[in-house]
A and B are shown apart, each in its own frame.
Chain A
């Protein structure tokens, strides 16, 4: 089941530069997209989300872009900091399009971001 795909298992960037993490999806019913950050031995921590009625959402250093026609979203982190080093998961749900029956999150495999000082 590859409905949500994160094709880059890892990404390495220099402190202060931009980190761009990518995610593709195949299910056109998805209408809500989220990014989570995960440190070892901890659970996923919610970062930022976007609904399908928007194409951009910004929160501090984090911006998520959604391209519905390409079924693609990306997370931009500017500027990147060493504390951002973690696994980033893209997730999606189809709740708004399911008539109230499908709110489960479908996750990608994650991208390990390393920010070097």
Chain B
């Protein structure tokens, strides 16, 4: 069964450094998402992406965050200058359509900021 794959599984970074989290969505999916889960808290939406542009973003997704689909298969989340509070599990998801279609999630990247 097709899967969303994320790399790396664990990323350790010094505060202030840039980090790029990578995702390969399911191949025939057109809509892409990033979510995060801080330890002990809910899974929360960051951003959605369609047709090479952001379609929706949350208040969390400030100027330090950016997303890109650099080629036909990868979808990346970049944090320019990481903060301690960016430590979380980051999940990528994709869906074939938006309306009444489930989003399928990858296994996540655990980001640890030191």
Q: CB within 8 Å of B: which residues of A?
A: 32, 34, 36, 41-46, 49, 51, 89, 91, 95-96, 100-110
| B44, B55, B98, B102 pick with most chain A CB within 10 angstroms | B102
Assess whether B33 is in contact with A104, with CB atoms less than 8 Å apart. Answer: yes
Which range contains the number of B residues in contact with the other chain?
20 to 34
Contacts of B43 in A (CB 8 A): 44, 89, 91, 105, 107
The 9 closest A-B pairs by CB, nearest first: A43-B105, A104-B45, A107-B43, A46-B102, A103-B98, A43-B107, A44-B105, A51-B100, A42-B107
- Are A46 and B104 CB-contacts (below 8 A) given A103-B98, A104-B45, A104-B48? yes
| B6, B41, B100 pick with most chain A CB within 10 angstroms | B100
Contacts of A89 in B (CB 8 A): 43
Q: Does B18 count as interface, using CB distance less than 8 angstroms? A: no
Q: Could you tell me the distance between the alpha carbons of A107 and B4 in the complex, rounded to whole angstroms?
A: 19
19 pairs, A vs B, C-beta closer than 8 Å: A34-B102, A34-B103, A36-B105, A42-B107, A43-B4, A43-B6, A43-B105, A43-B108, A44-B43, A44-B105, A46-B102, A46-B104, A49-B100, A49-B102, A96-B100, A103-B98, A104-B58, A106-B45, A110-B42
Q: Could you tell me the distance between the alpha carbons of A81 and B104 in the complex, rounded to whole angstroms?
A: 23
Assess whether A105 is in contact with B56, with CB atoms less than 8 Å apart. Answer: no
Q: How far is the CB of A36 from chain B (nearest CB, A)?
A: 8
Q: How far is the CB of A86 from chain B (nearest CB, A)?
A: 14
- Are A105 and B107 CB-contacts (below 8 A) given A43-B91, A96-B99, A96-B100? no
Q: How far is the CB of A84 from chain B (nearest CB, A)?
A: 19
